[in-house]
Chain A
């Protein structure tokens, strides 16, 4: 579904990614974990067109999308729930969800039944249903995260990219969020999950990549990575440091 080869990217003079390779097969949940500063968000931004990669290739469903603008990539069916949620704070929950389906309104993506999908989303996220007319800026962090994910689902996408959904959330909310991710997984949604919370991510994913200093340090089936001491070391520095 989504394939990343030898991706290099950075900001101005700072090169953050030094050639990474990731494969997201259809119907699977792949996770990208790593400590802060490792380059996870940069990877997401490079895939979704928020920054342009300096080298390497990103392919979505066979089409090369590296270098495309964000809106073009979204119209090809890649939904992104960005780091920090980035919901439209001055608009209502319902409007946010409708905007998630924007390409369906304009015909860039198959229209389907938008109203029906809207109601379905609200059923899946009961907290949002209660607040459907509330301004997104007044929602709590956890609710905004749900909104960002529901918004991504509204695209009827080929793949969803989730960027640090747990960031800034209390543990109990993190649990809820990951329950929803499991739910989506059981519906066959393809996802690339970027997380700082390795444990929760590896619980829900099929396969994992560990990012360290802009390179893939190790990768493997999620179950195996969970018990890998190298993963722990990458986060907290082990005894003896680096």
Chain B
């Protein structure tokens, strides 16, 4: 029972991180039909920039968060401008897939050269002693991760539902042409959705950094698994992403425990393949009707 509770609690924390990154995929996919194959690298850069702020500049963790968020917005806008916008213009799907992959590789390499290839520890803002709850050891940081992820997603939801600019974003996602007719500058909405997407990734980066080691390689696997979560949950459903994230997080932690850490990543990927094989629109998504 103890073990079960432990797996559950660790799995939930991991799962929420995946969900937050997957959330970023959803944002850009909804408005532009594209996604950032380098999303994991956005997280990685956020974590490393955060580390520099805290270590080198001596910034307080909580002060550092908005700084990293702003960095994320700039990074996201850059990706959109360089990688995605030209591809949308020439209507080349191949284009933005390859260019976001390329940018991800460049960012990783730049990070390696600036911060080195070693994994670095990230100072935790909260005490590292685990609390015992229902038989499981839970780190305060893990709770922060879950709370932070939920707060971030709720904030964006609030923005989308209550502010006119948020509604403009939803409208663009719903029908880009009609949104333009309303006087909404849809190109700017797309740039904004990329900025927001990288913001959430960077934020996720500084949330998870104290729990693991921070380094140039931390983004790769995370990005792929977040994509799995986005697909499993359905690229059009916010609820689906949280459920998908939790499923993946728990299954992964369980695999790591019962089978071996080497195989940890496998079930999630297999789940991704299964979903794509049978219901590409995801467990919660709606299938699209072909129009000929």
Contacts and interface: CB of A to CB of B under 8 A. Distances in A.
Interface of A: 48-50, 69-71, 74-75, 79-80, 82, 86-91, 95, 98-100, 102-103, 105-106, 108-109, 151, 155
A155 B164 CA distance: 14
A97 to B, nearest CB: 11
Interface residues of B, number: 17
Interface stretch (B16-24, B75-83, B179-187, B204-212): B179-187
A70 B168 CA distance: 15
Contact of B174 (A71, A88, A106): A88
Counting from the closest, the 8 A-B pairs by CB-CB distance are A70-B180, A74-B183, A103-B183, A86-B178, A88-B174, A105-B164, A80-B181, A75-B183
A71 B172 CA distance: 12
11 contacts: A69-B180, A70-B177, A75-B183, A80-B181, A86-B175, A88-B170, A91-B174, A99-B164, A99-B167, A99-B171, A106-B164
Contacts of B184: 71, 99, 102
B186 A88 contact: no
Contacts of A88: 170-171, 174-175, 178-179
Nearest to A79: B181
A99 B168 CA distance: 7
Contacts of A99: 164, 167-168, 171, 179, 182, 184
Interface of B: 164, 167-168, 170-171, 174-175, 177-186
A70 B183 CA distance: 7
Contact of A95 (B167, B180, B183, B185): B167
Contacts of B174: 88-91
A133 B220 CA distance: 43
Contacts of A109: 183
A134 to B, nearest CB: 15
B42 to A, nearest CB: 27
Contacts of A80: 181
Most buried by A among B178, B181, B186: B181
A48 B164 CA distance: 23
B180 A90 contact: no
A82 B178 CA distance: 8
Contacts of A103: 182-183
A181 B257 CA distance: 68
Contacts of A102: 164, 168, 182-184
B162 to A, nearest CB: 10
A50 B180 contact: yes
A204 B257 CA distance: 75
Contacts of A155: 182-183
Contacts of B181: 48, 50, 70-71, 74, 79-80, 82, 86
Nearest to A90: B174
Nearest to A108: B183
Nearest to A78: B181
A100 B182 contact: yes
Contacts of B180: 49-50, 69-71, 74
Contacts of B170: 88, 90-91
